[in-house]
């Protein structure tokens, strides 16, 4: 899917894993892109190949403070998304989701432009409905160690819909399920990056609990397709809409696939399950298919193979022969 508008687009969290891929895709479609990031978890290396682009600019800024800019649409992705990062400073995590949403919504209201909120499948908590449709209200612990992220994102959704009802603001809300691919941080504690890095370095793969808990994994290119498709919908469509791959795998299955693709025989070891860790997670994507014409296309093995190449190059472990494909020429 290609973005074909000459609009000036603001992406908060634009130097992050997902944000950098979104910036790259928007540039490829002809947009001017303003990347806003405070580099708490975002990295300049993620946008290094974009820095000299004539339609790309960066602003170092924390969204918990007001931002003044002139843009035509806003993607709000700013917030640490991995447990290691969002639990390090949980108060700031909540402020980023809530105060950051207020500031970005205020900017969108002043400019009268559409704004998309990158929400999360974590709003469903540890679900007792499976798979999770958008109409399910979730089962979230409001006082647990994951609450700063889960409840912060839930409150941000509330704010978005109240701005819609009270001010007529053009909003879009997506709920992102587990996403993976090149530019993930090697130390973010997420299961895909953990398993790949451990296998590449010849370390035992760590499974939490018995490994029977399930997740669904969406390759980042597919997610970006869905984000752009959501922003392109008519004003009447607000979401929330699930964006994720409905293929469901146990953690043990994922570990075994990673070992096979890396060509490693490292052991699999077990550790206690963290508090409030969901037992299962799988998106119902019927709404995305009907309203966006969107279905993820990249199978897990193919996406993992691409991600393994990226981490192998990053870590210098020498198990693969090539690095991440250079897509810069395509957006010049």
- pLDDT (tens digit, 9 = 90+) per residue, 17-39? 999 999 999 999 999 999 999 99
Residues 6+ apart with CB under 8 A from 48: none
CA distances for 128 relative to 119, 207, 252, 279, 300, angstroms? 20, 23, 22, 9, 25
Q: What is the pLDDT of residue 6?
A: 58
Two tokens at 145? 């160690």
CA 77 from centroid of its chain's CA atoms: 8
Q: Cβ distance 45 to 77 under 8 Å?
A: no
Q: What is the pLDDT of residue 1?
A: 44
Catalytic residue numbers?
149
CA angle 8, 13, 14 (to 5 degrees): 50
For the whole model, what pTM was predicted?
0.92
Q: What is the pLDDT of residue 310?
A: 96
Q: Which of 183, 132, 175 is nearest to 154 (CA)?
A: 175
Q: How do residues 102-127 score in pLDDT, each as one tens digit?
A: 999 999 999 999 999 999 999 999 99
Q: What is the largest CA-CA distance in the chain?
A: 58
Q: What is the pLDDT of residue 82?
A: 66
Q: What is the pLDDT of residue 328?
A: 39
Q: DSSP H helical segments within 205-279, as ranges? A: 220-231, 251-262
Residue 273: how many other CB atoms lie within 10 Å: 14
| Helical (H) or strand (E) element with 75 | strand 73-76
Backbone angles phi, psi at 146, to 5 degrees: -95, -5
Q: Domain extents for the chain?
A: 8-331
Low-confidence ranges of the chain (pLDDT < 50): 1-4, 321-332
- Identify how many contiguous H helices and E strands the chain contains and give both numbers: 9, 13
Q: Which of 4, 56, 18 is nearest to 35 (CA)?
A: 56
Considering Cα of 102, then 104, then 105, then 106, what sign does the dihedral take? positive
Backbone angles phi, psi at 139, to 5 degrees: -140, 85
Two tokens at 248? 């469901």
Q: Which CATH number describes the domain made up of 8-331? A: 3.40.50.720
Two tokens at 128? 């007792």
Q: How far apart are CA 158 and CA 101, in angstroms?
A: 10
């Amino acid at each position: 899917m290609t973005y074909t508008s000459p609009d000036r687009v603001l992406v908060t969290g634009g130097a992050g894993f997902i944000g950098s891929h979104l910036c790259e895709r928007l540039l490829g479609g002809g947009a001017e892109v303003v990347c806003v990031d405070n580099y708490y978890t975002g990295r300049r290396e993620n946008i290094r190949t974009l820095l000299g682009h004539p339609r790309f600019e960066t602003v170092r800024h924390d969204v918990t403070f007001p931002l003044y800019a002139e843009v035509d649409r806003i993607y709000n992705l700013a917030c640490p998304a991995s447990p290691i990062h969002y639990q390090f400073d949980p108060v700031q995590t909540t402020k980023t989701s809530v105060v950051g949403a207020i500031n970005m919504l205020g900017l969108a209201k002043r400019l009268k432009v559409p704004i998309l909120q990158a929400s999360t499948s974590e709003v469903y908590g540890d679900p007792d409905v499976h798979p999770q449709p958008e109409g399910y209200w979730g089962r979230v612990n409001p006082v647990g160690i994951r609450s700063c992220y889960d409840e912060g994102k839930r409150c941000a959704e509330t704010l978005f819909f109240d701005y819609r009802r009270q001010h007529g603001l053009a909003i879009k809300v997506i709920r992102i399920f587990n996403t993976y691919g090149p530019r993930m941080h090697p130390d973010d504690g997420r299961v895909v990056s953990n398993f790949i890095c451990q296998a590449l370095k010849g370390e035992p793969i760590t499974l939490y609990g018995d490994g029977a808990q399930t997740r669904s994994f969406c390759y980042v290119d597919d997610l970006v397709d869905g984000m752009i498709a959501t922003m392109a919908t008519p004003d009447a469509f607000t979401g929330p809409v699930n964006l994720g791959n409905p293929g469901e795998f146990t953690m043990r299955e994922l570990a075994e696939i990673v070992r096979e693709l890396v060509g490693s025989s490292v052991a699999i070891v077990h550790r206690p399950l963290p508090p409030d860790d969901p037992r299962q997670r799988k998106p119902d994507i019927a709404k995305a298919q009907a309203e966006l014409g969107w279905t993820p296309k990249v199978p897990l093995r193919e996406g993992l193979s691409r991600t393994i190449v990226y981490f192998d190059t990053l870590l210098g472990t020498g198990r693969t022969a090539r690095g991440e494909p250079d897509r810069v020429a395509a957006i010049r």
